[in-house]
Amino acid sequence: MSDLVVIVYSTEARAEEMRQKLIGLQKEYLIEIGDAAIAVMQEGGKVKLNQLLNTTAMGAVSGSFWGLLIGAIFLMPVFGAALGAASGALGGALTDYGVDDKFMKELSGSLQPGNAALFVLVKKVTGDKVLEAIRGSGGTVLKTSLDHTQEQKLRDALADVHGAAPAPAADAPSAAQGTGAPSPVG
């Protein structure tokens, strides 16, 4: 089961910065993202979506491949590729993966002009490590499907500007003093 997290940022650049950070964490296998889209409220009151995947382009590419292959079988590769690309683009435009576009536009309708909402569909997450990585990055949680405890941890992590780890106690032994463990004998 996936969880939806929507975080509002003051600019599209800040939302994109967070999306890139999450994609970096995905490369480290700390989070698995199903979708990550940014909705920006423009000055005229229109919402612009900036999605991770362009389904129309993906459909056109796969359609042209299959059209070329089928066209080659029937000795009409150019016609097959063109027909395949057109049908693939149409199919891609009608397909919506991840977070529903209509839902994103409706929820983003309450944003101030210039603000951006980052919609993230999270499939899996190593919570403590991801929260540490995004600590102090700002943003306001607009909506989540997380339970109250997890949502509060997310809010706290985003708001924690300092992100400082607790300092070691003054009376704790340092690594230079040693821990009293025996050294290996060769």
Tens digits of per-residue pLDDT, 17-68? 999 999 999 999 999 998 899 999 988 889 988 887 544 445 445 555 656 5
The DSSP element (H or E) to which 118 belongs, if any, is strand 116-125
Q: Are residues 67 and 146 in the same domain?
A: no
pLDDT at 174 exceeding the cut of 50: no
Lowest mean pLDDT among 41-55, 139-153, 166-180: 166-180
> 24 and 61, same structural domain?
no
- Average pLDDT over the chain reads 75
Confidence grade of residue 177 (pLDDT, cut at 50, 70, 90): very low
First to last CA, the chain: 52
Residues 87-126: tens digit of each pLDDT: 555 554 444 456 788 888 888 888 999 999 999 999 999 8
One domain for residues 11 and 34: yes
Which of 136, 86, 103 lies closest to 37, judged by CA?
103
The domain containing residue 88 runs over which residues?
56-94
Domain count, the chain: 2
My answer on whether 65 and 155 are in the same domain is: no
Do 65 and 154 fall into the same domain? Answer: no
**Residue 43 and residue 7 share a domain:** yes
Residue 135 pLDDT more than 80?
yes
| Same-domain pairing of 137 and 48 | yes
* 8 Å CB contact between 15 and 114: no
The residue with tokens 């919506």 is: 96
> Based on the domain organization, do 9 and 38 belong to the same domain?
yes
- ∠ CA 44-41-45, rounded to 5°: 25
| 146 and 126 within one domain | yes
164 within domain boundaries: no
Q: Is 60 found in the same domain as 148? A: no
